[in-house]
Structure 1
């Protein structure tokens, strides 16, 4: 269990660091047209729908910047039959094409565990950049 937590925290750190390194200097041009930003409610619905793919195709949710670290292990934390509940009201966009949302995974016969999922919008949809367990969550 400690190993999973350490791996998750390392992935969060790597993902956040990679995000800032890769997106440095990509701000909207001065005097340019305003960028259309989706409403948080529609984003959270899209993300909730995407996260349901954890049940059938978890590899499709791995962000490009995390693919090397995950290396084909995307489904290890989501056994078949796991119940996935996304708290759409918890969505916190970061203003740069991503954000964080709370997801509760309940494996068959197991206890629910809440995770903070760091999400990023890629060309082909919403992806998981990293996750971290939320200790003490109800």
Structure 2
């Protein structure tokens, strides 16, 4: 239930961000981001299996405060201060370098959960990880993901 609330909150924030400016341009932008992130995810997963170091770009968000202490898909308890993240397909334990494309700041996170479930998003970061690369008040940011190691 908490994940559904988080997804709904993320969608609401996204819609608010879109409605504040020229709507026509933003609809095209969001549609392009959704298409690009889906294509990039398939490429990233294929490159992870073959051992090459490809990257994936898209939108990152962060876990809400209400999920602190809840169980992740890997069975661990979510700690909002740790450098952890959720990805749809990368194996649990995979280390990923996340680079903010607007300011160049980087953070290395461990995948320990599944998600994000909002269209156009490629990764959900813990609050601690997101705050290392972007002001959490922003809520969303464009990032590039690079797999550093994989357990499978």
Q: Compute the TM-score of the two structures, normalised by the length of structure 1.
A: 0.33
Question: Quick one: higher RCO (CA 8 Å, sep 6+), 1 or 2?
Answer: 2
Q: Compute the TM-score of the two structures, normalised by the length of structure 2.
A: 0.31
**Structure with more of its chain in helix, by fraction:** 2
Which structure has the greater CA radius of gyration?
A: 1
